[in-house]
Structure 1
Amino acid sequence: MIEETIERMEELTDETIIITTREQYPLMQYYLPLFPSENVIFEPMRRNTAPAIALGSSRFSPEDTMVIVPADHVIRDKENFLKTLRTAIRFAESHESLVTIGITPTHPYTGYGYIERGNVVDENDEVYAVKKFHEKPDYETAQQYFRSGRFLWNSGMFVWRKSVFDSELSENFPDLFSVICEIKDRPEEIEEIYERLPKISIDYGLMERSSRVVTVQGNFYWNDIGSWDAVYDLLIKDKNGNAIEGEFSTREVKNCLLINHTQKKLAISGIDGYILVASSEGTLLCKRGESQEIKEIIV
């Protein structure tokens, strides 16, 4: 997926920078042997997306346009994707705005945050003001969002000029901005300086606080592989609606995700709409549609 992400971005950008952890760097070297090591930035410890993006921004000049994309997205219809990003880049280059990409929902889904779209803010009807960001909804609320036509899935993709990002960060999250400035002045102390930062997403830390946020609506296929439900959506199903990987013996099993990474065959009977994942580290069983909630019980 990171290979595909880089290939897509090479058609849009002059330079690619990877922000990752030191533990993941060997994987980057393995899968991206030709990627320049000087373009890999290590986050000293995990502090979520706001500190990570701010740290990565230190490699840019004020006049540069930054395009931020996660590496764990499945994107199809590349031409539509590139068209959407080019619209966002053009707008960011000529406006004092933080641009986010909102995805047109294909169904009511509880696993994503939502962007409530406001009025059109450009002459081509392609860019909208952001009225509000909404957390992951329950199913009834997701149905309301879907029917309204005004709500988009929050993709976590952003475009802005470095100077605008710095200005908005200094105004809305001055503690983070000052820490990044400290790191630029004293890079040899990055570990102890970075450790002071809270774990906070770019949505909480900046986007929900700024009054300069707009969205470009994307109509391409997009899937954030952040849950087992998303994995089920991507895999090929059998005639009973089951996506199966590994050794199973089944009877009257329908619409399930079954993954077995152990050496033993598992026997399953009489279930509909469940997720079962078995590995050497443990076993997960939950209803489909609820895999986002497993973080509350896994420690």
Structure 2
Amino acid sequence: MLYALIMAGGKGTRLYPLSRSNNPKQFLKIINNKSFLRNTVDRIKPLVKQENIYVVTNKDYYEAILSELPEISRENIFVEPSNKETATCIGLSAVKLLKKDQDATMIVLPSDHYIDGKDAFLDTLNQGVDIVQRRRGLVTIGIEPTRPETGYGYIRLGERIGSRIPSYKVERFLEKPNLEVAKDLIIDGNYLWNSGMFIWRADVFLREMQKYLPKMHERLMNIYTKINTEDEKKVIEEEYELIEGISVDFGIMQKTRKAYVIKSNFIWDDIGSFEALSRFLANYRGNNVSGNAYMEQSQNCSVFGSKKLIIGFGVKDLVIVDSGDVILIMDKNKDQEMKYLVNKIKNDEKLSEYL
């Protein structure tokens, strides 16, 4: 049977201070009047039955998800005791779904993407499900690059397989490149952005984990034996203490020989940074602006205003964010260093209340 797994446990630190530990990015209503999480669920509903939509998160966001998604039952929210990267949260979800259904096929979706072109999106996922069933592979969705992006991973296309939407064996994954390498990848023409959306059978994914992350696999299978018993929660907490977290890209996708990629034709954005978010703001005198702002003799700034009037006079290449109790003023070139900044603030006890 087909299941959707939505990953909604991240803290969205790259959009701080709009995104906070108690109100992370997936709950923000920035682009339209619905949260990223709400949009993700609504987008997958035509393909996956509501009772087969699952969310994996951490304990801090459990109640918020119940409130945001009242139609999703409590049993469909998988709770991690701590964040241990994507391979772990997907692995935990895989063993839970496999316990429920030995033929479970998973569509794994981040909760914070922007997608335009719903029909094309669903067509792509349908083709991915077909590849998974016929080839028993691990399928990822690739996006044709439109610019030399340093914030995304890239996928090099291998042999094309016979599919209506262009689909390929994955030749290799390339992690976030510097600007010059990213420019070369665009010119090469054989690379796609790695969207972080995946499709696979739960049993196939776990077998690949057994090959490449055997210790994690052992911990998760210990959990598998206790699912639906009174010891389940306790064993999950114990095993999570022992798991060394790693991303699914580093841990499995870069190593497996079963990886396939579909070249999608819908519009996609990660919204993982202020630069990305700025693409959805209104243009105002050569700047990208939302909220209450006035810009004079200023250019290429991204301004996220609120109740206070933000005036930019004679400035350029800045990100300015008013989130009420925190005002951020940042060089645009520091956009990919927000996690570093948040960690520095976290280490200062006097500032921790602002996270």
Would the TM-score normalized by the shorter structure come out above 0.5?
yes
Given that residues 242 and 253 in structure 1 are in contact (C-alpha distance below 8 angstroms), is that contact kept between their aligned partners in structure 2?
A: no
Structure 1 residue aligned with 2:246: 200
> Matches of 1:44 and 1:105 in 2, distance apart?
36
CA contact (8 A) 1:250 1:269 kept: yes
TM-aligned CA deviation for residue 280 of structure 1: 4.6
- Please report how far the alpha carbon of residue 132 of structure 1 lies from its aligned counterpart in structure 2 after TM superposition: 1.2
Alignment pair present for 1:158 and 2:202: no
In 1, distance between residues paired with 2:117 and 2:270? 15
Report the count of equivalent residues.
297
CA deviation after TM superposition for structure 1 residue 76, in Å: 0.3
Over residues 247-276 of structure 1, what are the superposed CA-to-partner deviations in whole Å (9 max), with x where a residue is unaligned? x34321122111244x64443221223212
1:39 paired to 2:76: yes
- Give the counterpart of 1:147 among 144, 168, 187: 187
Q: Does 1:254 align with 2:296?
A: no
Equivalent pair of 1:242/1:256 in contact (CA under 8 Å): yes
Q: How far off its partner does 1:28 sit?
A: 1.2
* Most deviating of 274-283 and 147-156: 274-283
The aligned amino acid for 1:44 is P
The residue number in structure 2 matching 1:22 is: 59
Deviation track 1:87-116 (CA, whole Å, cap 9, x = no partner) reads 111000111211111111122211111111
CA distance in 2, matches of 1:289, 1:11: 40
In 1, distance between residues paired with 2:259 and 2:68? 35
* Structure 2 Cα separation of the partners of residues 145 and 289 of structure 1: 21
CA drift of 1:183 comes to 1.3
Contact 1:62 1:161 in 2 (8 A): no
Report the AA paired with residue 70 of structure 2: P
Q: Secondary structure of 1:234's match?
A: coil
- Partner of residue 216, structure 1: 262
> Which amino acid is 1:25 matched to?
Y
Q: Once the 2 structures are TM-superposed, how far is the Cα of residue 82 of structure 1 from its aligned partner? A: 0.9
Per-residue CA shift, 1:98-141, capped at 9, x if unaligned?
Answer: 11111111222111111111121335572211111111112221
Percent identity of equivalent pairs: 32
**2:184 maps to amino acid:** Q
User: What is the distance in 2 between the residues matched to 1:140 and 1:155?
Assistant: 21
Aligned mates of 2:294, 2:58 — CA distance in 1 = 40
| Residue 339 of structure 2: aligned partner | 295
CA shift digits 1:185-234 (9 cap, x unpaired): 24232112112112311101111121111101112110112111111012
Return the letter of the residue paired with 1:131: E
2:256 is matched by which residue type in structure 1?
S
Match of 1:56 in 2: 93
Change (3 A) 1:7 1:125: closer
- Residues 79, 292 of structure 1: CA spacing in aligned structure 2 closer, same or farther, 3 A cutoff? same
Q: How does 1:7-156 map to 2 (within 5 A)?
A: 7-14=42-49, 15-60=52-97, 61-122=101-162, 124=164, 126-156=166-196
The aligned counterpart of 2:24 is none
Query: Does the 8 Å contact 2:165/2:264 carry over to 1?
Result: no
Contact kept in structure 2, 1:18 and 1:39, CA below 8 Å: yes
1:140 alignment partner AA: E
Gaps of 5+ in 2: 1-35, 227-231, 344-355
What are the Cα deviations for residues 24-69 of structure 1, in whole angstroms up to 9, with x where unaligned? 1222122211211110000110111110000111222332211101
Counterpart of 1:235 in structure 2 is: 281
What TM-score comes out, normalization by structure 1 length? 0.93
Counterpart of 1:161 in structure 2: which amino acid? R
Pair 288,219 (structure 1): closer, same or farther in 2 beyond 3 Å: farther
Between the aligned partners of 1:239 and 1:77, the Cα distance in structure 2 is 30
How far does residue 72 in structure 1 lie from its aligned partner after superposition?
Answer: 0.3
* Unpaired stretches in structure 1, ≥5 consecutive residues: none
Distance 1:84 1:149 in 2: 21
Task: Output the TM-score relative to the length of structure 2.
Answer: 0.79
CA distance in 2, matches of 1:259, 1:6: 26
